[in-house]
C-alpha cells in the first residue's frame, strides 16, 4: 500500500507528514462539521443519511469514511456504521470486488481458522462501535458486509478498517494493502462542488 492511512479521530498533517490529533473527537470520530457535511454531500451527490461523525480522513484532509447512526432520521434501522464516502476509494474497492476478491476471501474463511477468528473479532468490534452510537434492537447482532461468516461487501470492511485502525479487521486491512493512496492526487471534490446546504 502506498501512502499513509490515518487513525480514527486523527487527521493527516501535510506539513509534517504525520497524524495530528483532531480537536473535536467523539465516539464516532471527528464531529461532522457543516464543511464536512458539504464535502460528503459533494462526494455522494446527495445529502448523507444519518451521518454523525467523520470516522476517517483521507490524507488530503477530506472525510473518506463517515460514521452513521444505527437508526436513520426516518426511523429505519441502519446496520452500516461506517460508510465509505470518497468516490475514488469506492471505485477502487469496486474494482477489487469485481475481480472476485470477496469470493476468494470467503473461501479462505472456511479454510483458515485463524483468519476466521480474526474476522469474528472484527464483527464483534463493529457491533461494539455501533452500540456506542445507539441501541437498535432490530439489528442486534447483525453486522454489515457479511460478517462474521462471509464477505458480502468489501466497502464495509475497508471503511471499518479505516475507522478502527490497523489490526482490527484482517480482511479490511488486506483490501487496503491492495489499494493505491486515493488521496495522493488531492481532494476528490473541487471547491466548486462543495456548497453549503
Q: Which three cell numbers stand for residue 93?
A: 474497492
Decide if 196 is inside a domain. no
Q: Which residues contact 131 (CB under 8 A, 6 or more apart)?
A: none
**Contact call for residues 77 and 70 (beta carbons, < 8 A):** yes
Which pLDDT belongs to residue 51?
A: 96
**pLDDT beneath 50, residues of the chain:** 1-25
Decide if 51 is inside a domain. yes
Three-class SS state of 58: coil
Decide if 140 is inside a domain. yes
Decide if 168 is inside a domain. yes
Q: What is the pTM (predicted TM-score) of this model?
A: 0.83
Per the structure, the count of domains in the chain is: 1
Q: Which three cell numbers stand for residue 95?
A: 474494482
Which pLDDT belongs to residue 8?
A: 37
Decide if 4 is inside a domain. no
Decide if 193 is inside a domain. no
HSE toward the beta carbon, residue 148, CA cutoff 13 A: 16
User: What residues does 71 pair with on adjacent strands?
Assistant: 77
Which pLDDT belongs to residue 10?
A: 32
Three-class SS state of 69: coil
Domain span at residue 87 reads 10-182
Which pLDDT belongs to residue 196?
A: 57
Decide if 190 is inside a domain. no
User: What residues does 101 pair with on adjacent strands?
Assistant: none
Decide if 62 is inside a domain. yes
Which pLDDT belongs to residue 27?
A: 57
Which pLDDT belongs to residue 147?
A: 86
Amino acid at each position: 500500500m502506498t501512502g499513509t492511512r490515518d487513525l480514527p479521530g486523527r487527521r493527516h498533517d501535510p506539513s509534517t507528514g504525520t497524524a495530528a490529533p483532531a480537536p473535536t473527537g467523539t465516539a464516532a470520530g471527528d464531529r461532522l462539521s457543516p464543511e464536512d457535511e458539504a464535502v460528503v454531500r459533494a462526494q455522494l451527490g446527495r445529502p448523507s443519511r444519518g451521518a454523525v461523525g467523520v470516522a476517517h480522513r483521507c490524507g488530503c484532509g477530506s472525510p473518506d469514511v463517515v460514521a452513521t447512526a444505527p437508526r436513520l432520521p426516518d426511523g429505519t434501522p441502519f446496520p452500516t456504521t461506517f460508510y465509505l464516502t470518497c468516490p475514488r476509494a469506492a471505485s477502487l474497492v469496486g474494482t477489487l470486488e469485481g475481480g472476485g476478491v470477496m469470493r476468494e476471501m470467503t473461501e479462505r474463511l472456511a479454510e483458515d481458522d485463524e483468519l476466521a477468528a480474526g474476522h469474528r473479532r472484527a464483527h464483534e468490534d463493529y457491533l461494539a462501535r455501533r452500540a456506542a452510537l445507539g441501541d437498535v434492537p432490530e439489528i442486534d447482532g447483525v453486522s454489515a458486509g457479511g460478517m462474521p461468516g462471509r464477505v458480502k461487501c468489501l466497502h464495509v470492511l475497508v471503511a471499518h478498517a479505516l475507522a478502527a485502525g490497523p489490526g482490527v479487521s484482517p480482511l479490511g486491512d488486506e483490501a487496503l494493502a491492495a489499494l493505491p493512496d486515493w488521496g495522493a492526487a488531492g481532494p476528490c471534490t473541487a471547491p466548486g462542488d462543495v456548497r453549503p446546504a
